[in-house]
Structure 1
Amino acid sequence: MANLAPRADASDVVVIGAGPAGALAAARLADSGHRVQVVERTRFPRFSIGESLLPQCMAPLERAGLLDAVLAGDYQPKNGAAFTRRGVSTVIDFHDKTTPGWATTFQVERADFDQRLIEAARARGARVDFATTVDAVEPDARHPRLTVRDDTGHTRRLETRFILDASGYGRVLARRLGLARDPRLESRTALFTHVDTGLDDDFDREKILIGVHPDDAQLWYWLIPFRDGRASVGVVGDTATLEAAGDDAESRWRTLVDAEPRFAELLAGARPIRPVDALAGYSADVERLHGPGFALLGNAGEFLDPVFSSGVTIALRSADMAVPLVERTLAGESPDWAGEFERPLRAGTATFRAFVEAWYDGRLQRIIFHPDPPAELRRRISAVLAGYAWDRDNPLVTASRRRLDLLAELCGPLPEARP
């Protein structure tokens, strides 16, 4: 019998979400000759936070052949992070790290960055449908199905052989399949916007600036400079604390930014050039990251906190790890998704989580702001903050909580402002 032509809505892999993880997975799978269908709820370009990448991102992008697309964006280079609290400042330089690999990356406007990545995936042969919502999912080890709806209300069924959920905060499979569980981090809120501002001549544009509120060490700020002179500015803290700072998002953002001396100085004349947005309760987790005929990537599975810019790194890492297993599944093998994907991915995420927890309870701040930390300690911290949270040769990866406890005790209390 002659082979029947595949149905128009049939594919080898459906990728839900056109963000960085989805674009990377789609590009690599299409490069291998697989029929890839990407469905994205929004229309691109679209705004997103997660604008300060980590050097560890660069290797997966390079392996996927997406580095040229990134370089074409002419983004602001990034080589580290600067921290400020009560007039005390310190710098982490990603060149000075224990883990080998990329030491530089970029600070990007995600609307442009994500657009470039998904267009590169489309150029490789991936089909991309924007403004398309997933209404239903039927998991199956061999023939999973989805029902999707476009913005005209037209619905259709998609038949595929594997589903990758890269839907980010949409968390499609977690919601549709009841996979969500309570996150292990406290609920917080972020207020953020873009500003058009000229920064001081001595401001290092190649580093994200992270500030700490002078009276509340759990309330912190980011300033991410872009190439064109604009910057992303956000403040993160307990929801009640943020709400008490003003009557609306912009007044709260302004009041809180003015409370931190260095931020107040840098942003004295700055005004938002887009509405101040709020994102509450962003931390999320799931019972499992894989199942019959599907896997969850990046934020669609677990999201921690924006403080160390780990979101895009974990997203790209997850896609990089998942693609070879998807290809083996399509070839008729039965990969160990728990042992080869979920456990190793979550191990690195747990390292980031330990650093996030230590930041909010003050332990990591005591270490980072210490006036004279041992050089090897600083290099190990630099490696984790550069995204190398899977490096088992780094003691701060293999025993994060215990070593952070010990180091914080040795460092003593947070230093006060210098005279």
Structure 2
Amino acid sequence: MSTMQHTDVLIIGAGPSGSSAAALLRQKGHQVTIIEKQYFPRFSIGESLLPQAMVFLEEAGLLDAVRQHVGEFAFQFKNGAAFLRGKQRSFYDFTEKFSDGPGTTWQVRRAHFDHLLAQQAEQYGAEIRFGHEVIDVDVDANQPILTVKDEQAQVYQIQAKFLLDASGFGRILPKFLDLESPSDFPVRRAVFTHIEDGILDDAEFDREKILITVHAKDHRAWYWLIPFADGRCSFGVVAEQDFFAHYGFDAQQDIDLDALLKRILADDESLSHVLRNAKFDTPVRTLVGYSANVKHLAGRNYALLGNAGEFLDPVFSSGVTIALKSSSLAIPLVDQVLQGQTVDWMEQYEKPLRAGIQVFRAYVESWYSGEFQDVVFSTQQDEKIRRMVSSLLAGYAWDTTNPIHKNAKKRLSTLAEYCREPQSSEAITHGA
């Protein structure tokens, strides 16, 4: 094994949290090395960004790089979310929200989006080692050490003053350091692909909004339809395991995922009509048991960013926003550590980050229970309530001035009752 290499900050993973963390660190003058197992561009889901993410991209100096390539990569302008349940339709315009900040964003192919962020981090001076795999982690010493296998299967070690895990679903530090904690969400599966959508009638489908459709026969199951600007969409369905078993899915056998997804689509008349001209021309993929949690998000000389720490559910597209928020919170603290200052990672990082994640969690849980679906499709919401809900859907989960931020779970339940039976909104905006 060669002589020990050194850097200021090691980052595992070059996805959005890793690239934004690197860009922020380079702004502060720190040497940054990113270890990335894959080669970019590479396929990933999570294509529907939230407006709150624009704030973090701009802070990291990454927003202009994305903006300059909108046309080239067919990134679709996005201003809201639309919902479909049988014959019921509803939508939220993110420019009409309670919270301050951007109200628009894009829907992006993650292969191009993530690559753009990584390239910009490199432009700022970060070193990204694509095709390098972490095979061991040592955080017992004052300065953490990674053992890495390079493209030629040669093994080397690299030591840093601080270590950040931005490995996403790879969850490198949780696995090596035994940090994983079971998620209390039911095990759900996503089956998904990219399609040529063939949607010609703009009255049926607003390309400037993600479309979320509740399955006609099981309210726990839902479809996403995320349009790009070139006539294609990301399309998928999410449900618990028993739902897929009903369609003959058996994880122990080879299943024709393409046929499976088409059968599930055919069971929803309204969405099938929207996609009546669609062409399924890309292999269908599946992910299962993706919800994850950890015992803690940071230690003396390391911290977890984005999905490496916690992933909730894809239903409200919170993944990239949480990833970027985690970098925004963590990097000023890493800078303090590198300057020899003391940081209370629980108080200054974990609690603030989890505060917003808990808000996301509250309405993810409320969605699957059916309560938030009642809110979304209600005709009883006044304008004030709609703006508060729109802010949450736009990703402003850390806005403590939003009345439904505090005690989010309880207030969403109260909101559902309000939407079912007309009454004063005071219980929601000023209640416990």
The bucket for the TM-score relative to the shorter chain is over 0.9
C-alpha distance in structure 2 between counterparts of 1:79 and 1:213, whole Å = 24
The answer on 1:66 being equivalent to 2:101 is no
The change in CA–CA distance for 1:140 and 1:331 in structure 2 (over 3 A counts) is farther
Give the equivalent residue in structure 2 for 1:175: 175
Question: Which of 339, 344, 356 lines up with 2:352 in the alignment?
Answer: 344
Question: Which of 28, 31, 46 lines up with 2:27 in the alignment?
Answer: 31
Residues 231-246 of structure 1 mapped to structure 2, 5 A cutoff: 231-246=233-248
Percent of aligned pairs sharing the same letter: 48
Q: CA deviation at 1:411?
A: 2.6
Question: Which amino acid letter does the alignment assign opposite residue 272 of structure 1?
Answer: F
Q: CA deviation at 1:132?
A: 1.1
CA offsets per residue over residues 357-376 of structure 1, 9 Å max, x none?
A: 00000000011111231111
The answer on 1:206 being equivalent to 2:203 is no
Give the equivalent residue in structure 2 for 1:3: none
C-alpha distance in structure 1 between counterparts of 2:218 and 2:315, whole Å = 15
8 Å CA contact 2:31, 2:126 repeated in 1: yes
Q: Which stretch of the first structure deviates more once superposed, 118-127 or 194-203? A: 194-203
Residues 277-288 of structure 1 mapped to structure 2, 5 A cutoff: 277-288=285-296
CA offsets per residue over residues 115-135 of structure 1, 9 Å max, x none?
A: 000000011110000111111
C-alpha distance in structure 2 between counterparts of 1:285 and 1:53, whole Å = 22
The answer on 1:397 being equivalent to 2:425 is no
Question: Which amino acid letter does the alignment assign opposite residue 51 of structure 2?
Answer: P
Question: Which amino acid letter does the alignment assign opposite residue 327 of structure 2?
Answer: A
Give the equivalent residue in structure 2 for 1:118: 118
C-alpha distance in structure 1 between counterparts of 2:207 and 2:292, whole Å = 31
CA offsets per residue over residues 89-135 of structure 1, 9 Å max, x none?
A: 00011011110001000000000000000000011110000111111
C-alpha distance in structure 1 between counterparts of 2:4 and 2:156, whole Å = 11
C-alpha distance in structure 2 between counterparts of 1:107 and 1:350, whole Å = 24
Question: Which of 370, 394, 398 lines up with 2:378 in the alignment?
Answer: 370
Give the equivalent residue in structure 2 for 1:84: 84
8 Å CA contact 2:4, 2:156 repeated in 1: no
Give the superposed CA RMSD: 1.3
Residues 238-257 of structure 1 mapped to structure 2, 5 A cutoff: 238-246=240-248, 247-257=255-265
Residues 257-272 of structure 1 mapped to structure 2, 5 A cutoff: 257-272=265-280
Give the equivalent residue in structure 2 for 1:162: 162
| TM-score, length basis structure 2 | 0.92
The answer on 1:223 being equivalent to 2:231 is no
C-alpha distance in structure 2 between counterparts of 1:347 and 1:273, whole Å = 41
CA offsets per residue over residues 311-364 of structure 1, 9 Å max, x none?
A: 000000000111100011000001121111100100100000010000000000
Q: CA deviation at 1:385?
A: 0.6
Question: Which amino acid letter does the alignment assign opposite residue 350 of structure 1?
Answer: Q
Unaligned runs of 5+ in 2: 249-254, 422-432
8 Å CA contact 2:190, 2:238 repeated in 1: yes
C-alpha distance in structure 2 between counterparts of 1:239 and 1:180, whole Å = 22
Give the equivalent residue in structure 2 for 1:417: none
C-alpha distance in structure 1 between counterparts of 2:140 and 2:327, whole Å = 20
CA offsets per residue over residues 136-155 of structure 1, 9 Å max, x none?
A: 11114731111011232111
The answer on 1:108 being equivalent to 2:104 is no
8 Å CA contact 2:51, 2:103 repeated in 1: yes
Question: Which of 392, 398, 411 lines up with 2:419 in the alignment?
Answer: 411
C-alpha distance in structure 1 between counterparts of 2:81 and 2:240, whole Å = 23
Give the equivalent residue in structure 1 for 2:429: none
C-alpha distance in structure 2 between counterparts of 1:375 and 1:19, whole Å = 37
The answer on 1:195 being equivalent to 2:203 is no
C-alpha distance in structure 2 between counterparts of 1:9 and 1:127, whole Å = 13
Question: Which amino acid letter does the alignment assign opposite residue 298 of structure 1?
Answer: G
Q: Which stretch of the first structure deviates more once superposed, 389-398 or 12-21? A: 389-398
Unaligned runs of 5+ in 1: 1-6, 414-419
C-alpha distance in structure 2 between counterparts of 1:269 and 1:141, whole Å = 59
Q: CA deviation at 1:292?
A: 1.9
Q: CA deviation at 1:73?
A: 2.2
C-alpha distance in structure 2 between counterparts of 1:34 and 1:378, whole Å = 43
Q: CA deviation at 1:215?
A: 1.5
C-alpha distance in structure 2 between counterparts of 1:264 and 1:345, whole Å = 39
Q: CA deviation at 1:8?
A: 7.6
C-alpha distance in structure 1 between counterparts of 2:366 and 2:9, whole Å = 39
Match of 2:116, SS? Answer: helix
8 Å CA contact 2:4, 2:157 repeated in 1: no
Question: Which amino acid letter does the alignment assign opposite residue 285 of structure 1?
Answer: N
Give the equivalent residue in structure 2 for 1:4: none
Give the equivalent residue in structure 2 for 1:18: 14
CA offsets per residue over residues 137-174 of structure 1, 9 Å max, x none?
A: 11147311110112321110011100110000000000
Q: Which stretch of the first structure deviates more once superposed, 273-282 or 239-248? A: 239-248
Question: Which amino acid letter does the alignment assign opposite residue 103 of structure 2?
Answer: A
Match of 1:291, SS? Answer: coil
C-alpha distance in structure 1 between counterparts of 2:269 and 2:337, whole Å = 54
